[in-house]
Amino acid sequence: MSARPDATPPLARLQPALTLLPGSAAWQQWRAATLAQLVTDGLPTPRDDAWKYTNLRLLERRELAPAAARPLAANALEGLPEAQGPRLVYVNGRFHAALSDRSLPDGLVQTSYRDLLDGAPPAAVTSPIDADQRIRQLNACMAADGAHLTLTAGSNPRLPLEIVHLHTGGGAYPRTRLELGANSSLALIEYQLGLGNADSFVAAVTDVVLDAGARLTHTTVQLAGDRTVMIDDAHAVVGRDARYAHRLVALGGQLVRFDLRVDLDGTGAQADLRGVLFADGTREQHIRTLLDHRVSHGTSDQLYRGVAGGRGRGSYDGKVIVRAGAAKTSSRQSSRNLLLSKEASIDTRPQLEINADDVKCAHGATTGTLDENMLFYLLTRGLDRETARALLTYAFVGDVLKSIEPEAVRRAIERRALGRLPAAATIREFIA
Amino acid sequence: MSNIHKGDVILQISGLTVKVQGRRILNGLNLTVRAGEVHAIMGPNGAGKSTLSQVLAGRADYEIVAGSAVYLGEDLLALAPEERARRGLFLGFQYPVEIPGVNNVYLLKAALNARRRQLGLQELDAFEFLAIVKDKMALMQMDESFLKRGVNEGFSGGEKKRNEILQMTVLEPTLAILDETDSGLDIDALKVVANGVNSLRTDNRAVVLVTHYQRLLDHIVPDHVHVLAAGRILKSGDRGLALELERRGYDWVLEEANAA
Ligand SMILES: Nc1ncnc2c1ncn2[C@@H]1O[C@H](COP(=O)(O)OP(=O)(O)OP(=O)(O)O)[C@@H](O)[C@H]1O
Ligand SMILES: [Mg+2]
C-alpha cells in the first residue's frame, strides 16, 4: 500500500466540513483557526511521547468528516444489553430523539452542547488541560452536539443513566459533559457501539466534574465496529472527598485508544479505575491514564488487565503524578497482560512521579503467557486444551469484570467477553 | 470399567527412560500395576518419583528417551493428558496448583462429565452432580464453602491435598497416582485422606501412592512397596519393606543394588 504522495493530509480534508457545522461567527472563527493550527501540527505520531504505542497512520486514508444523518432501523440498538435506566442515544455524535428515552430522574438536568454554540467558545472547551491537546481540539472543532448533564447537589438517582454512542461510518465527534453537585451520586454507563462495518473515525471527549462528596461510577463499554478507529478522551476533576470510579471494557474497534486523565483536586478525593482490554484478531486496544494527585489525602487505584491474541496489539501507558503538597497520598497501579499467541503484543509503561513526602505508592506491570502449571492441572482433570486455555484467559480478566455494576450489565458484558474466546460455549457454565 | 477384573494389568511400564533438561532422571524403570492392587513408591528426595507421576499424567516438559507405558492396553505415552484423564487416570499433585477465578466445583463438574462422556454415560445435570459432591465432601470432612472458591485458591497445604482426594473420589479413577498426598497433613486429616483412598479400593481399580512416610501405610495398607532410586525401581517388597526403610533409610538398598 503506497500512500499517494500528493494526498491532502487528513485534517486538511476536514476544512470544507467546518462550514456545515452549526454555531456563531465566533465559533466558526475559532474552529477555522484551530483546525488550521492542527493541520500545521499534524496528527500525533509515535514520535510524540504520549503516543508512543499508538500509531494513527490508518487515518491517512480515512474519511474524517462528520457523517451525514442516515435513517436507522428500529432494531439499531439490538446489540446492547437491556437498558437499565433512561437512555440518551447519539448517532454519529448527534442526538437521536426517537431512540432515546429521556425520562430523566429528578435532579438530573439535560442541556445540549449545541446551546454553547450560540455564544463564544467557552473556556471549558478552549483552555488546555494537557500539553498535547490535539485530539481534544479536533473534537472541539468538529463537535456539533453532545449531552450536557448536571446533577443537583444531594441527588441520588436510583437507576443508572445510559448514553449510547452509535457509529455508522464516517467521522463522529461526540462531546459529553457531566457535572455532579455536592454529595450527589450517579452511575453512568456509556456504550460505544458500531453499526455495520463501514470505516469510521470517532474522536470522543467526555468531561466529568465532581463537587465535594459526589460519587460517580462511570462505565465505558466499547463495542465499536471492526473498522472503527476511535480515540476516547476522558477527563475527570474530582473534588474534596468525592469518588470517581471508572470501568472500561474494551472489546471492539479496529484501533481504539482510551485516554483517561483524572485530577484529584480536593483533599480526600478518590479514583478507582479498572479495565479490561481484548485485542484479538488484528485489533489494537490502547489505554493511557494520567492520575494527578494535586492535594493531600488522595487515593487512587488502577487495575487493568489486557489480553491479546492473533495479531492483536495493546498497551497500557499509565502515569501517576504526586505533586508537592499531596502528602498522605495512596496510589496503586497494576497492569497485567496476557498474550495468547506469538504474534500478539502488549506494551506497558507504568510511570510514577513523586514530588511529596509521606506517600504510599505501588506500581507494576507484567506481560506474559498462560501459566503452564495451571494449564497442565486442568488438562489432567480431563478438560480439552482449548477449553482450558479459554478458562484461564477468562479467569485472568474475571476479577475486573466482576466489578461492573449493575449485575444485569455485568452479565451481559461477561457473555460478550466470553463470546470473544474460543470454546466460549463450553466454558459458559463455569461462570454461571 | 466393569470389564476390568482383579489381577488384570492396568499399567505396565517397561524400560522407561526420561530426561529433564538434558539430565537422565529415570533410567530403565519397570513397574506393573494390576487391578485390585495398591502400590507404594518410596525413595530419596530428587529420585524422580514426581517425574514418574508427571510423565504418566502427560506433562510435556519431559523428554522420553526410551521405554513404554501401556495403560489398559493402550500406549499411554501417545495420549494427550486430557485423554489419559478421561480414560480414568488421575494424578494427585504433590503441589496442587492454585487457579484463581476458575471455580472449584465447576471444574469438578466439567472433569466428571468429560470422564462420563468417555464412558458413554449421560452427563450429569447440576442437581445430580451436587448430590454426589456433597456426599463425597462429607466423606472428606470438607466444608461446602470450598465449592464456591477458586481452584485451591487460598487453600492451606492440607486443604489442597484434601481437595485433590475429593476430586479423586468424585472421578472414581481406574488408576490413581497420588504424589505425596500425605505430606503436610495433620494426623486427623491423614485418616480422612486414607478413608478417601480406601473407598476406592475395589477389584477393578489400582492406586499408586508416592510417599516418604510409613505412617500413611498404616492406614492404607499397600500390596507392594517399591524403592525408586538411581532412576529405577531398585527393590520391591511387601509392607515389611516400608518398615525396614523407616528403620534403615535408603543407603543399604543402593549398596545392595551396586553389589548385585
Ligand atoms: N523441570 C525441571 N527442571 C530441572 N530439573 C528438574 C525438573 N523437574 C525435575 N527436575 C529434577 O529431577 C530430579 C527428580 O525430581 P522429582 O521431583 O521427580 O523428585 P522426587 O523423587 O519427586 O523428589 P521429592 O521426594 O523431593 O519430591 C530432581 O533432581 C529435580 O531437580
Ligand atoms: Mg516429588
Mean pLDDT of chain B: 95
Nearest residue by C-alpha to atom 13 in ligand 1: B46
Question: Is residue A212 very low, low, confident or very high in pLDDT (cuts 50, 70, 90)?
Answer: very high
Residues A72 and A212 placed together within one structural domain of the fold: yes
- CA-based nearest distance B171→chain A, Å: 9
The answer to whether B99 contacts A377, with C-beta atoms less than 8 Å apart, is yes
Taking CA atoms, A118 is separated from A106, A115, A194, in Å, by 27, 6, 31
B85 near A CB under 8 A? yes
Which of residues A211, A234, A266 is at a domain's end? A266
User: Within chain B, how many helices (H) and strands (E) appear?
Assistant: 10, 12
Residues A104 and A235 placed together within one structural domain of the fold: yes
How high is the pLDDT of residue A420? 80
Ligand nearest to the CA of B41: 1
Report how far residue A93's alpha carbon sits from residue B116's, in angstroms, rounded to the nearest whole number: 54
Is residue A148 situated within a structural domain?
Answer: yes
Domain count across chain B = 1
Is residue B1 situated within a structural domain?
Answer: no
How high is the pLDDT of residue A349? 97
Question: Is residue A421 very low, low, confident or very high in pLDDT (cuts 50, 70, 90)?
Answer: confident
> Could you identify the atom of ligand 1 that is nearest to the CA of residue B228?
21
Using the predicted structure, report yes or no on whether residue A423 has a pLDDT greater than 50: yes
C-alpha B154 to ligand 1 mean position (Å)? 25
The answer to whether A373 contacts B97, with C-beta atoms less than 8 Å apart, is yes
Which of residues A266, A290, A324 is at a domain's end? A266
The answer to whether A385 contacts B151, with C-beta atoms less than 8 Å apart, is no
How high is the pLDDT of residue A43? 94
The answer to whether A395 contacts B110, with C-beta atoms less than 8 Å apart, is no
How high is the pLDDT of residue A1? 42
How high is the pLDDT of residue A75? 87
Taking CA atoms, A25 is separated from A16, A21, A112, A136, in Å, by 16, 11, 19, 21
Adjacent-strand bridge partners of A236:
A208, A262
Which of residues A216, A246, A266 is at a domain's end? A266
Contact residues, chain A, for B59 at CB < 8 Å: 376
The answer to whether A382 contacts B100, with C-beta atoms less than 8 Å apart, is no
Is residue B184 situated within a structural domain?
Answer: yes
The answer to whether A380 contacts B58, with C-beta atoms less than 8 Å apart, is yes
Question: Is residue B3 very low, low, confident or very high in pLDDT (cuts 50, 70, 90)?
Answer: confident
CB within 8 Å of chain B, chain A residues 357-396 = 371-374, 376-385, 387-388, 391-392, 394-396
How high is the pLDDT of residue A419? 84
Is residue B42 situated within a structural domain?
Answer: yes
Q: What is the pLDDT of residues A333-380, one digit of tens each?
A: 999 999 999 999 999 999 999 999 999 999 999 999 999 999 999 999
Domain that holds residue A393: 370-432
DSSP A73: -
Residues A385 and A257 placed together within one structural domain of the fold: no
Is residue A341 situated within a structural domain?
Answer: no
Bridging pattern class, strands A94-95 and A87-91 = antiparallel
Is residue A258 situated within a structural domain?
Answer: yes
Q: How many CB atoms lie within 10 A of CB A1?
A: 4
CB B33 within 8 Å of CB B6: no
Is residue B4 situated within a structural domain?
Answer: no
Using the predicted structure, report yes or no on whether residue B153 has a pLDDT greater than 80: yes
Question: Is residue B117 very low, low, confident or very high in pLDDT (cuts 50, 70, 90)?
Answer: very high
CATH code of the domain containing B144: 3.40.50.300
Q: What is the pLDDT of residues B188-239, one digit of tens each?
A: 999 999 999 999 999 999 999 999 999 999 999 999 999 999 999 999 999 9
For range A79-84, the mean pLDDT: 92
| Cβ-based burial of A324 (10 A; exposed 0-12, middle 13-18, buried ≥19) | exposed
Nearest residue by C-alpha to atom 5 in ligand 1: B20
How high is the pLDDT of residue A101? 87
Domain count across chain A = 2
Q: What is the pLDDT of residues B6-52, one digit of tens each?
A: 999 999 999 999 999 999 999 999 999 999 999 999 999 999 999 99
How high is the pLDDT of residue A131? 78
Q: Give which of B51, B90, B102, B118 to mutate to test A binding, by max A Cβ within 10 Å.
A: B102
CB within 8 Å of chain A, chain B residues 107-166 = 107-111, 114-115, 118, 150-151
Domain that holds residue B176: 9-259
How high is the pLDDT of residue B2? 60
Using the predicted structure, report yes or no on whether residue A74 has a pLDDT greater than 90: no
Mean pLDDT of chain A: 93
Residues A252 and A377 placed together within one structural domain of the fold: no
Contacts of residue A381, defined as CB under 8 A and 6 or more positions apart, other chains included, come to B85, B107, B108, B110, B111, B114, B167, B171
Is residue A250 situated within a structural domain?
Answer: yes
Q: What is the pLDDT of residues A150-205, one digit of tens each?
A: 999 999 999 999 999 999 999 999 999 999 999 999 999 999 999 988 999 999 99
CA nearest to B90, candidates B215, B231, B247, B208: B208
Is residue B123 situated within a structural domain?
Answer: yes
Is residue B239 situated within a structural domain?
Answer: yes
Where on the phi/psi map is residue A290: left (φ > 0), alpha (ψ -120 to 50), or beta? beta
CB A171 within 8 Å of CB A144: no
Query: With a 6 A CB cut-off, is B45 part of the ligand 1 pocket?
Result: yes
Contact residues, chain A, for B93 at CB < 8 Å: 377
Contact residues, chain B, for A376 at CB < 8 Å: 57-60, 81, 97
Q: Which three cell numbers stand for residue A288?
A: 493511557
Is residue A170 situated within a structural domain?
Answer: yes
B102 near A CB under 8 A? yes
Residues A113 and A260 placed together within one structural domain of the fold: yes
DSSP string, A96-118: -TTT-B--PPTTEEEEEHHHHTT
Report how far residue A398's alpha carbon sits from residue A381's, in angstroms, rounded to the nearest whole number: 21
For range A204-219, the mean pLDDT: 98
Query: With a 6 A CB cut-off, is B213 part of the ligand 1 pocket?
Result: no
Give the pTM: 0.91
How high is the pLDDT of residue B241? 96
Q: How many CB atoms lie within 10 A of CB B79?
A: 17
